[in-house]
A and B are shown apart, each in its own frame.
Chain A
Amino acid sequence: MGDRAYKVVSALLGSSAFIFLFLILGVLLIFSYPSLIVNGIGFFTRVTWNPNISGSVTVIHGIRAMSNASYGMLVFFLGTLLSSGLALLIAVPISLGIAVFLTEVAPRRVSFGLSFFVELLAGIPSIVFGFWGFLVLGPFLKVYIEPGMATYLSFIPYFRGPVLSYGLPASGVILALMIVPIIASISRDAMSQTPLELKEAAMALGTTRWETTRRVVLPYARTAILGSVVLGLGRALGETMAVAMVSQSAVNLLPTNFYYPINSLAAFMAQTLDSAFTDPTSMEVYALVELALVLLAITTTVNIIARLMVRQGFISSAEHVVQV
């Protein structure tokens, strides 16, 4: 094969990245169009998701829809933000601790073995995480942790009981476990690249290991760490199956305290499409596709931010998985 032909063919195959992306965007836009027109801006602020399939068919703006159906994403949007926020609160300190231990504390051999195990965690299927959360973590939190929190944190209204479920806490912890390997491995790579001269200079001034880490290593790796946190956030926002299994699937209810059942955009989408097929006007399917569009917009924005924050090249959502 000639060099020119090779170049053209390989460029065409490489362009499938564009094709896939445009396919996704185009399909979502086309199929969410009826919902965008009928549900309008209220889609973002309404609490109730009710397809009302027993009602009668009406025509709104020239599009068939069930009368009195209500489509709002607020419950799922809030659940997504809360669970991902909680996941970050838990995962960031733990990941930084792991990265510090692996680069600054542990001997090289121990560090190699441990980072291998931490990264194995990234390979566990999210559905297995969800099953484990459903069997072990959720009940554990509900029996041992949540009552304690409700008692000792009762001076904050949000943490006051009653302990209703393991919805939000379990979702947050499961998501945290899933994003720790991402944040920890990228942070570790960045921290291990701190120039030895800088660390030696700090040590020569008499700083302890922790002071060197705190004043030299962490500031040096700051941008990469922030980027890894944003990447982890992107993963948490889009995670589907684990949340679907532990969130206890709230619909039409806004959480009033920390122990409320929640639902996320992705988990709700996974749980609902098959029941949406019964809508004779297909409006529920279109509304679900609009949710998909919103989720795509969120994860893409977060990924762009991560990319802008870290222009050092060694970090990308595809690469973190394969960097050992």
Chain B
Amino acid sequence: MSSGETSGGSGVGGNVSSEARVAPIWKEKAVIANHRKRIFFDNVAGVLAFACVFAVLVPLADMVFMFAYRGIQLLSIESLTTITIGSSSFVSGGLANAIVGTFLLIALAAAVTIPLGLIGGIYMAEFSNDGRLSEALRFAADVLAGNSSIVLGYVGYLVFVLYFGWGYSAAAGALTLSILMFPYVFRTTELALRKVPQSIREAAIALGSTKSTMVNRLVVRFAMPGILTGILLAVGIGLSETAPLLYTASFSNYIPTGALTHQPVGYLTYVVYVYSQLPSSGAHDLAYLASFLLITMVLTINVVARLGLRRFSKV
């Protein structure tokens, strides 16, 4: 930084002419005061900027430690492998139904959304001519991503539960969730593919490869870490959603039997939302445990996606 102005100036000022008795400008009080003021502001700004980081990290730490502290106390084989008993005034048992239900919903949603998003993203990066159509598709995906998740939940309820007559079910919940996750897979796949150097494509074409072989065998493989990052983060987003599932999957105390329609499914976020507001301590315990499980899963996914996969990036 611009320090040192106030100190060593005598050597330069000394050999001007002897009649210059006035102090050099950098020794004038006003200049020094002004300089000190600016340095002071600089330091204050630095401290304030750090305070902003601090202001965000404290809640994050408090959240993680509080739920970890309560969650680890409640964590046991039993609480993970038994189902929830009771529903309103008295709740006990474990979270097996919600854990299995969460995995079922996410697996089904991923099975629908990954092919759509992945192949759609390949179209955007490799086949589209970057015209109006792809711009409109990108825009549609952005609107979908910016849409409130409860709006999507209503649409899922009206279409899948009522119009298709599936009732509260895994299929209704998972399809709603897949619409929510789609834009993330779609956009990150395109971004990851666009980062693959053009020379790789040219090399494949020069060796006589068709475009589809070039894309499938080469470009997609090079972009795989980026694509997987997008998929993982989309799974994390799906995992942490409540609103789209409230009126599509509803909730159930029982482990899903595999029926896709006409059978409500439990999931962890519902436990947090509803049980935290019930007046029984058994319900509160389950809400704490579910929060802990959610935080653990989502943070693991985020760490793996952001740090782990970066290492394998070939591009």
Q: A residues bordering B, Cβ < 8 Å?
A: 1-3, 6-7, 9-11, 13-18, 20-21, 23-24, 27-28, 31, 93-98, 100-102, 104-105, 114, 116-121, 123-132, 134-137, 177, 180, 184, 203, 206-211, 213, 231, 234-235, 237-241, 244-245, 265-266, 269-270, 273-274, 288-289, 292, 295-296, 299-300, 302-304, 307, 316-319, 321-322, 324
Contacts and interface: CB of A to CB of B under 8 A. Distances in A.
Given A93-B52, A208-B38, A240-B243, A319 B211 contact: no
B184 A28 contact: no
Interface stretch (B16-24, B75-83, B234-242, B256-264): B234-242
Given A6-B212, A101-B50, A211-B42, A238 B148 contact: yes
Interface residues of B, number: 99
B33 interface: no
A238 B127 CA distance: 34
Contact of B291 (A24, A95, A104, A128): A128
B120 A16 contact: yes
B158 interface: yes
A292 B143 contact: no
29 contacts: A2-B210, A2-B212, A10-B123, A13-B123, A14-B121, A16-B182, A18-B140, A20-B179, A23-B155, A23-B179, A24-B179, A93-B52, A95-B52, A98-B49, A123-B298, A128-B291, A208-B42, A210-B41, A210-B45, A213-B45, A238-B149, A240-B243, A241-B242, A241-B269, A289-B154, A300-B146, A303-B142, A307-B139, A322-B229
Nearest to A316: B142
B27 interface: no
Contacts of B46: 101, 105, 209-210
Contact of A289 (B48, B158, B211): B158
Contacts of A304: 143
Given A24-B155, A31-B158, A245-B273, A208 B298 contact: no
A321 B182 contact: no
B19 to A, nearest CB: 28
Contacts of A102: 53
Contacts of B72: none
Interface stretch (B7-15, B58-66, B93-101): B58-66
B66 A132 contact: yes
A136 B62 contact: yes
Nearest to B230: A322
Interface stretch (B84-92, B103-111, B185-193, B195-203): B185-193
B154 A274 contact: no
Given A10-B119, A13-B115, A17-B137, 4 more contacts: A2-B212, A3-B211, A97-B53, A304-B143
A128 B188 contact: no
Interface string B157-197: 11100000000000000000001001110111001000000
B148 A322 contact: no
B255 interface: no
Given A27-B159, A317-B146, A318-B186, A3 B120 contact: no
Contacts of B115: 13
A207 B2 CA distance: 7
Given A11-B123, A17-B137, A125 B298 contact: yes
Interface of B: 1-2, 5, 38-39, 41-42, 45-46, 48-53, 55-57, 59-60, 62-63, 66-67, 115-116, 119-124, 126-128, 136-155, 157-159, 179, 182-184, 186-188, 191, 210-212, 215, 229-230, 233, 236-237, 239-243, 246-247, 269, 272-273, 276-277, 287, 291, 294-295, 298-299, 301-303, 306-307, 310
A28 B155 contact: yes
A3 B210 CA distance: 7
Ranked 6 nearest A-B pairs via Cβ: A97-B52, A238-B148, A125-B240, A14-B120, A10-B123, A101-B49
A131 B233 contact: no
B50 to A, nearest CB: 6
B175 to A, nearest CB: 10
Interface of B is mostly: helix
Nearest to B239: A125
Contacts of A120: 60, 299, 302-303
A324 B230 CA distance: 12
Contacts of A9: 119
B53 A118 contact: yes
Given A9-B119, A318-B187, A1 B150 contact: no
B151 A14 contact: no
A31 B154 CA distance: 10
Contact of A13 (B119, B247, B272): B119
A13 B159 contact: no
A94 B298 contact: no
B273 A316 contact: no
Interface centre among B123, B188, B276, by most chain A C-beta atoms within 10 angstroms, is B123
Interface centre among B151, B182, B184, B276, by most chain A C-beta atoms within 10 angstroms, is B151
B145 to A, nearest CB: 4
Nearest to A115: B53
Contacts of A295: 148, 150-151
B242 A126 contact: yes
Given A128-B272, A273-B154, A238 B147 contact: yes
B1 A319 contact: no
A292 B154 contact: yes
Contacts of A114: 53, 57
Contact of B242 (A118, A137, A210, A240): A240
Nearest to B229: A322
A239 B146 CA distance: 10
Given A13-B115, A125-B240, A238 B146 contact: yes
